[in-house]
């Protein structure tokens, strides 16, 4: 019955970094590895098996690059007490996260539909962040 007891404390529906932190769920701190990964300025291709934390690492990276490890918006940093809190020295950035699961499938089923959806997303991001887009 050990598995039964453990499953009550681990919420398997909380799949993202922020939801784990907000709900005080179990979180294995590998943020020192994220710091190492980010300190190399080469392109990375991360692949992991299904249900193996891809969304969690992307959300962790998004939070880290958007807000860093300092408190913001009148709350503690989500990285408070994690290894990366002492390691991270980088600044913050504007982050555009492209999540294809949030696109309407009928709109991205063709190349033109995908292009249109991406252009709209990038346009909204640029407008919200007061960026000028240059058409090529």
Give the list of residues 6+ apart from residue 126 with CB closer than 8 angstroms, or none: 132, 133
> Residue 60's Cα: distance from chain center in Å?
4
pLDDT at 51 (0 to 100)? 72
* 9 vs 97, more confident: 97
- Mean pLDDT across 114-127: 91
pLDDT at 64 (0 to 100)? 93
pLDDT at 5 (0 to 100)? 46
Same structural domain for residues 10 and 76?
A: yes
Residue 114: φ, ψ to 5°: -65, -45
- Mean pLDDT across 72-94: 90
Domain total of the chain: 2
DSSP type of residue 90: -
pLDDT at 87 (0 to 100)? 93
Same structural domain for residues 73 and 8?
A: yes
Q: Cα dist. 6→21, 24, 47, 50 in Å? A: 18, 15, 28, 22
- In terms of residue numbers, what domain contains 33? 2-93
Q: Which stretches of the chain are DSSP H helices? A: 2-9, 17-22, 31-39, 54-67, 84-87, 111-128
Would you say the pTM of this structure is higher than 0.95?
A: no
Same structural domain for residues 74 and 126?
A: no
User: What are the tens digits of pLDDT across the range 39-70?
Assistant: 887 888 878 787 777 888 888 999 999 999 99
- Whether pLDDT at 38 is above 80: yes
- What does the alpha-carbon distance between residue 64 and residue 90 come to, in Å, rounded to a whole number? 9
pLDDT at 1 (0 to 100)? 36
Same structural domain for residues 72 and 100?
A: no
């Amino acid at each position: 019955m050990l598995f039964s007891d453990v499953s009550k404390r681990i919420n398997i529906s909380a799949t993202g970094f922020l939801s784990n932190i907000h709900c005080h769920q179990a979180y294995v701190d590998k943020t020192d590895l994220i710091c190492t990964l980010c300190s190399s300025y080469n392109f990375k291709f991360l692949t992991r098996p299904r249900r193996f934390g891809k969304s969690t690492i992307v959300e962790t990276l998004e939070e880290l690059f958007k807000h860093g490890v300092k408190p913001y918006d009148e709350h503690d940093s989500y990285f408070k007490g994690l290894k990366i809190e002492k390691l991270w020295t980088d600044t913050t950035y504007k982050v555009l996260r492209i999540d294809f699961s949030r696109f309407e499938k009928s709109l991205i089923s063709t190349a033109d539909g995908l292009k249109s959806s991406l252009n709209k997303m990038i346009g909204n991001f640029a407008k919200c962040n007061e960026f000028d887009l240059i058409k090529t």
